[in-house]
Amino acid sequence: MSVVEISDSQSGSRASIAVEAGFNCFRYVAQQGDSELDVIASEAGFEDGTKPASHNGIPILFPFPNRIRAGRYSWDGTDYELPESQVGYDGSGNAIHGFCLDRPWRVVEQKESSVTAVFQISRDAPDRASLWPADAELTVRYVISALTLRCEFTVRNPDDKPLPWGLGTHSYFRLPLGEADAANCTVFAPVIEARELEEYLPTGKTGAIPQNTRLQDSPEYGTLKLDHAFSGLKTGTHGNVETSVADPESGRKVTQRFSADFQELVAFTPPWTSAICLEPYTCTTDAINLQQQGLEAGLRILQPGETWTGCIDIEVQMQA
């Protein structure tokens, strides 16, 4: 399994990316002097390809994040079915997490502190090319600077047909951030409204955020049991959105900052590890079906030759 290591020579911060497992950044260690923090949760040996691609590190979800109901949708008069033998499925019979999180990517540039790779459906997953209405290309660049890991995205439509698409990440933020109890760490996201879900799939309705999922109030991790979707996120500094996890005892904090094009968020507490997933999406779950029902779901369309860019920063504060 090909693993790329990048690092910031001044701070000592470093990251490991599994190129053949979805270009997944499965390790990010922030360092300040003699203090360091292992930010991202992943199973030992993930890089050897034997652990679930969606359960570790920072899975990249494209051309759709999360689920498509029953793995079926229609587009421009054509019916599509995503066979379970070719794409990932959840335990309820829904296709899940896109086409690129479990496939090799192509590294196109590598430096000491950065690495860039490309995934194009027709070239890197040709068996999946007929499962989507148009070809799609995603370029991702990771770069480390001091206590920040930046992930830059470029989506391009290389086809001669319009490209419907959605993008998300599924970061597993390791808890606690120090020696304290993970239960006492706090979780924050500037959520505005909750999406109504039935068996993990949005109905298209939104409403008030339930009391036990009010991430805007910075609840303690130990009080949360999440697999919830939120729509509409408040923007802050420079028009970006910020989510965070914090450890009051150690004074450490991890902030995830992303461009406002990511207006959907899934929050998940995985039962198999001590971590919190705060997943920014450009569209909601099952957007390709919801949008065609006249429901706003955030699905984006790129015309032939068009591109879109966005970025997500993960910044560590070592002391309050």
Q: So what's the pLDDT on residue 1?
A: 64
Over residues 113-123, the mean pLDDT reads: 98
pLDDT digits (tens, 9 = 90+) for 22-46: 999 999 999 999 999 999 999 988 8
Residue 233 pLDDT > 80: yes
Residue 302 pLDDT > 70: yes
Residue 312 pLDDT > 80: yes
Q: How far apart are CA 267 and CA 256, in angstroms?
A: 13
Residue 319 pLDDT > 80: no
Domains of the chain with bracketed CATH: 3-317 (2.70.98.10)
Describe the strand order of the beta sheet including 24-32 as a list of residue ranges: 3-7, 14-18, 24-32, 35-38
Residue 163 pLDDT > 80: yes
Residue 148 pLDDT > 80: yes
The number of beta carbons lying within 10 Å of the beta carbon of residue 205 is 12
Over residues 109-118, the mean pLDDT reads: 98
Q: Would you place residue 57 in the very low, low, confident or very high pLDDT band (cuts 50, 70, 90)? A: very high
Q: So what's the pLDDT on residue 47?
A: 85
Over residues 177-198, the mean pLDDT reads: 94
Residue 160 pLDDT > 60: yes
Q: So what's the pLDDT on residue 320?
A: 53
Given a contact cutoff of 8 angstroms between Cβ atoms, the answer to whether 136 and 120 are in contact is yes
Closest CA to 206 of 188, 229, 235, 226: 229
The dihedral over CA atoms of 159, 160, 161, 163, expressed in degrees to the nearest 10, equals 30
Q: How far apart are CA 259 and CA 249, in angstroms?
A: 30
Query: DSSP states of 149-191 as a string?
Result: EEEEEEEE--SSS-EEE--EE--EEES-SSSS-GGG-EEE--E
The number of beta carbons lying within 10 Å of the beta carbon of residue 127 is 13
